[in-house]
Structures are given as C-alpha cells and as structure tokens.
Amino acid sequence: MEAGVAVVDATIEIRSPCDPAAATRQVCDLLKAYKLTSTIGDKYASGWTSGEFAKHGIRYQYSDKSCSDTYLAVLPAFNAGKIRLLDNRRLATQFSNLTRRTTAMGRDVVDHPVAGMDDLAAATALALSSAAKGSGVVIGKSGAIIITNGPRTIPGSDTLTAGAQRARDRMIASGGG
C-alpha cells in the first residue's frame, strides 16, 4: 500500500500449453525473489497444486471466496481510485469485460462473458482482497500476482513491477516520454 492505494507490484502469466510442474517452479522462484513463503489461490487442481508448491518450500492456502465474491469485495476500492494496476493490456481487458448481474434470488454475481477469460483479473482481485487483510500474494490458473512492499525489480527477470510503472509515469509527467 502506498498512501492508501493498493499497488500491484508484479504479475506473471504462464499460458497453456505448459508443463505444470515447470510453471509452478517459475512462480515459486518469483515468490522467493520477494522473500515470500506462502500464497493464496483458488482450488484449481487443489491437491496437486498445494503439493507441488510445497516441493518448492511455498505454503499454498485456498481462498474461501468465489471469484464473484472477490470481485465484489474489491469493487469499492476500484471505484474510489484506491487501486493501482500494472500497465498490462490483458489484465485491463479482462477487468473491463467482466459483467455484473443480479440473480432471481437477488444476489449480485460478477463473471466473465461466455467463452471469456478472467484468470489474471481473478488473481489480481484475490491479491487485492488479500492485501487488505495483510497478505498480498495470490496464485491463479495463469500465474502469480504480488502486492507487497518487497523489491521493485528482480535482477535478470522480465517480470513487470510497479516500480518500473511508477518510473515510467514520472518520466511521462516530466515531459520525458
């Protein structure tokens, strides 16, 4: 958090097809670069996922919220301008494609459109929701989203960081870009 604004520090997206064990190792390496030893995520391939993360020294906890509930939980912070996302076209597209509807029972539901994708948006929303509780790491089907006060750059990595985004913003604001 910076001045009351939740800042997404890093994302990593691993697209299919991929080797799940290698993808998990890549995500764990990113988490370790931030000195993190636990994460939270959905129950996708639940037994395998927690076991594979444990092999790399990372404790994987399951979220108790549905994606829809997580989106609804972070909506007020989005509306209040209390969230800073990375400049990531796929992430922005996924958030902007979400739809909200009310069920016959009066319950609000937020989801992606038919045949749509929301893995990055879902992972980011879960990280933002978790950050409000003091933990800001989440693993979704696509990869990791990190919200923390950890390092702003990871040597030898092409991982997007909020620090790089802020530097770019400062350069543009000063007329240099």
The predicted-structure confidence for 52-97, as pLDDT tens digits, reads as follows 999 999 988 888 888 899 999 989 888 888 888 888 888 889 999 9
pTM over 0.85, yes/no: no
- Asked whether the beta carbons of 90 and 145 are under 8 A apart, the reply is no
| Residue-number span of the structural domain to which 20 is assigned | 6-91+118-173
Query: For residue 19, is it within any domain?
Result: yes
Query: For residue 98, is it within any domain?
Result: no
Query: For residue 49, is it within any domain?
Result: yes
Number of Cβ atoms within 10 Å of the Cβ of 144: 26
Number of domains making up the chain:
1
Query: For residue 109, is it within any domain?
Result: no
Nearest to 121 by CA among 84, 154, 92, 152: 92
